[in-house]
Amino acid sequence: MSDLAEIWAVAICSGLVVGLLGLLVGWALRHRSLRWQLALVAVVTTLTVLLGVQAISRRMLISSHDRSVVLIVTSAAAVVSLVAAMVLSTALVRWSRSLREDVRRVGAGGEVAAGRRGPAEFQELSAELSAAHARLADAREREQRLEESRRELVSWVSHDLRTPLAGIRVMAEALEDSIATDPARYHRQIRGEVDRMVTMVDDLFELSRIHAGQLVVEPQPVVLGDLVSEAIAAADPVARARRVHLGGEVTHGLQVAADPAGLSRVLANLIVNGIRHTPADGTVHVTAAPVDGGVELVVTDGCAGIPDESRERIFDVGYRGTTARTPESPMHDVHTSRAGLGLAIVKGIVEAHHGMVDVENVGSADAPAPGCRFRVVLPTG
């Protein structure tokens, strides 16, 4: 065997012996601090060099003095390596503890800011923690808003159901005792209250399907001109009763692939919502026109504008933008006695069509009177 081959063999054998021992020790220290792991790496590296040099020097018949020199040099290198490893491991442990504190603050809802701490991997982890904290904060805010909406919905629906039920009971008792001066009017009022409660229950059922992800839309070609005309005709009696001018215009031949029943519900809810909030002699106008990648449905009313804080919540379940619980419409007006569900249903149906809905205020520069502009965009595909 040549000298080089023998040196290779001795070096590899020394490295394997020390490496196997280092792996065994590392396995025993696997649950200890990172500081011990880095120190072990430095020790294994130095011992590999030291053992290989000593073994080769003996095979080469080097004098004891020369071997001592080699031993001193390698020992000094081992000490320096171990010290460097301990310093580096201490810094890594400190950075990891800092990240651990950030994780704790994320769980507790505290502030977390990304920083330049440690290696690039630690910096990336810190940035991810900061982004995760922001996402969690948004999720907590949404959850809080949803919980508030649920509580408001239960309160409002309970009141809106209790009020007509109390009226029905009083009128029924009056009819039973034969003290009703106009029984036919009482029957009409009872029928109107029942229709209003049926509408409310239908809205609740529709909303539950939307939130459960069970709303199934069956798109088919829909002529928007016919759909808008039907919606305006259905809401015209309500508009006349409130002395609101109702009209619209649609681009000729405009079509969209949508569920006809769902899109009719969207238009009806938006139009009735506009009529309910528009004062007498005001105007509710419906338009439909093509836009890039889809069609746009717009319902403009004269509601005098929506405050910013209300505009952010207007599509939330149960939100009505008012603390008053008394219905604003007459008993027979079943179209306007909603519990703050109409716009939430609109959003759910539009999103089921992969579209979007928003609202903005329009001033005197864009309309004869301040109002709101509800805009629905549906994709053509």
Whole-prediction pTM:
0.56
Per-residue pLDDT reduced to its tens digit, 160-176: 778 788 888 888 988 88
Interval 309-315 mean pLDDT: 79
Phi and psi of 285, rounded to 5°? -125, 135
For residue 143, name the pLDDT band (cuts at 50, 70, 90): confident
Per-residue pLDDT reduced to its tens digit, 54-99: 777 766 666 777 777 777 877 787 778 778 777 877 777 777 777 7
Is the pLDDT at 307 greater than 50? The verdict is: yes
State the pLDDT at residue 60.
Answer: 67
Residues 360 and 240 in one domain: yes
> Which domain-ending residue is among 95, 110, 125?
110
State the pLDDT at residue 267.
Answer: 93
Residues 210 and 234 in one domain: no
Q: What is the CATH number of the domain that holds 356?
A: 3.30.565.10
Interval 220-229 mean pLDDT: 91
Q: Chain-centre distance of CA 50, in angstroms?
A: 59
Residues 158 and 301 in one domain: no
| Cα 138 from Cα 150, distance rounded (Å) | 18
Phi and psi of 291, rounded to 5°? -135, 175
State the pLDDT at residue 239.
Answer: 92
> Which domain-ending residue is among 214, 247, 262?
214
Domain membership of residue 302 as a residue range: 218-323+339-380
Give the torsion through C-alpha atoms of 283, 287, 291, 294, to 10 deg.
120
> Which domain-ending residue is among 181, 197, 214?
214
Per-residue pLDDT reduced to its tens digit, 259-300: 898 899 899 999 998 998 899 989 999 999 998 888 999 999
**Would 128 be classed as within a structural domain?**
no
**Would 236 be classed as within a structural domain?**
yes
**Tokens encoding 104:** 């704790």
**Would 359 be classed as within a structural domain?**
yes
Interval 224-246 mean pLDDT: 92
Phi and psi of 259, rounded to 5°? -80, 120
**Tokens encoding 4:** 């080089």
Residues 350 and 265 in one domain: yes
Interval 197-226 mean pLDDT: 82
Cβ within 8 Å of residue 138, ≥6 positions away: none
The dihedral of CA 33, 38, 41, 47: what is its sign? Answer: negative
State the pLDDT at residue 271.
Answer: 93
Number of domains composing the chain: 3
Is the pLDDT at 232 greater than 90? The verdict is: yes
For residue 133, name the pLDDT band (cuts at 50, 70, 90): confident
Q: What is the CATH number of the domain that holds 145?
A: 1.10.287.130
Per-residue pLDDT reduced to its tens digit, 324-365: 333 344 334 444 445 567 888 898 899 888 899 999 988 754
Residues 53 and 88 in one domain: yes
Report the share of the chain in percent with pLDDT over 70. Answer: 85
**Would 124 be classed as within a structural domain?**
no
Residues 64 and 165 in one domain: no
Instruction: For the chain, give the mean pLDDT.
Output: 79
Is the pLDDT at 230 greater than 90? The verdict is: yes
Residues 106 and 51 in one domain: yes
**Tokens encoding 323:** 């603390």
